[in-house]
Amino acid sequence: MRIDEIELRIIDLPFVSPFKTSFGSQDTKTSIIVTVRSEGVEGYGESTMDPLPTYREETIDGALVVMRGRMVPWLLANDIDHPAQLLDAWGATRGNPMAKACVELAVWDCYARQQGVPLRTLLGGERTEIPVGASLGMGTIESTVDSVERHIAQGYKRIKLKIEPGWDVELLEAVRGRFPDIELTVDANSAYTLDDVELLRSFDRFGLHYIEQPLDYDDLTDHAVLAGQIETPLCLDESLTSVARVKAALDLGACSVVNVKVCRVGGLEAVRRIHALCTDRDVPMWCGGMLETGIGRAHNIHLATMPGFVYPGDTASASRTYARDIVEQRLEASNGMMPVPTGAGIGVTLDRPFLDSVTLSSEVHRR
């Protein structure tokens, strides 16, 4: 496979409504859309780093520096047999999993399109639809209970509530009081510390499926301590930034559920290795989301077809987040099941006039 051209395009797409978490409130998605062109076929990838280091430490400007200096020139100078080679080929570039992943994703999509197969087929995914849940940003108790009711009525298979100190027990009492039997989880995005063990233990009575990333964004050891002191299973998100970090988390007992975000862990080959590790140890996985546009969302849907993704993921209907998407296909769940886009690669095509209208800048690098 010979890559002829790579386009790096920055877009900014407005949300239907702001999304509030313990680390801040967002009202648009700024991302890098990567297009690779190889022998007349295009493939697309989407980044998930923010403009500033709010969720993880990578930033859009920093990623552009790394892409222009490393992955882009490497791809324009080297032919490859398979996109699975890239993870190790780029190993000398340290860290920066999101910067690597969005380029790698574009190559995987292009490769699958050249082979004429859906991306999921290359990943061993046989399902043609996947169960999905909904992640609800912070609001008021009343608006959140209403939102849970609406999402359950729409068939979502699991509800995840964003929490932080002061926005937790009262909320959970209200939601659990109304919906005693739904599959319910919480995501703290690192808002607690080990000083909060008593409080976190008090969540045991709500029968949560798991608690996502209660402690520091880069921590493993405190989570391992916490796991020994509460009944509710722990799931890590922010802390899992590579295959090695996932292995360390499982070895330490820092989590018993794994949230996989392809960009956070460094790409699809990293996902395949994490999948092998987790299925080998019977650790349940699910596919996280970062409010992606149709490109990143389609990638997530394909990877969530892999057999180890046994819990409902965050890849909900695009229309919850965007009035209009940059892809022509509508990525919508029905009764909590998200159909996998059909066709080669990730199975979506760009709405080019709309994409151009939300583009802040773009640059093309050629062989």
Could you list the active site residues?
162, 261
Name which position in 267, 289, 312, 347 contacts ligand OSB (CB under 6 A). Answer: 289
Which of these segments, 103-111, 273-281, 286-294, 336-344, binds ligand OSB (CB under 6 A)?
A: 286-294
Judged by CB under 5 A, does residue 292 bind Mg ion? Answer: no
Q: Which residues contact 309 (CB under 8 A, 6 or more apart)?
A: 130, 260, 285, 286, 287, 303
Gap between the Cα atoms of 201 and 296, Å rounded? 35
| Residue with the two structure tokens 């729409």 | 154
Judged by CB under 6 A, does residue 144 bind ligand OSB? Answer: no
CB of 91 to ligand OSB, least distance (A): 26
CB of 117 to ligand OSB, least distance (A): 26
Beta strands in the chain (DSSP E): 5-21, 24-38, 41-46, 129-131, 134-136, 159-162, 184-187, 211-212, 234-236, 257-260, 285-287, 337-339, 359-366
End-to-end CA gap in the chain: 13
CB of 73 to ligand OSB, least distance (A): 30
Q: What SS3 state is found at 365? A: strand
Judged by CB under 5 A, does residue 187 bind Mg ion? Answer: yes
Q: Compute the radius of gyration of the chain from its Cα atoms.
A: 20
Which of these segments, 10-18, 110-118, 270-278, 287-295, binds ligand OSB (CB under 6 A)?
A: 287-295
Which of these segments, 28-36, 161-169, 179-187, 240-248, binds Mg ion (CB under 5 A)?
A: 179-187
Which of these segments, 41-49, 90-98, 232-240, 325-333, binds Mg ion (CB under 5 A)?
A: 232-240
CB of 239 to Mg ion, least distance (A): 10
Q: Which residues contact 146 (CB under 8 A, 6 or more apart)?
A: none
In the stretch 4-43, what mask flags binding to ligand OSB with x, by CB under 6 A? ----------------------------------------
| 24 φ/ψ sector (left φ>0, alpha ψ -120 to 50, else beta) | left
Q: Which residues would be at the binding site for Mg ion (CB under 5 A)?
A: 187, 212, 237
Q: Which residues would be at the binding site for ligand OSB (CB under 6 A)?
A: 55, 135, 187, 189, 237, 288-291, 314, 316
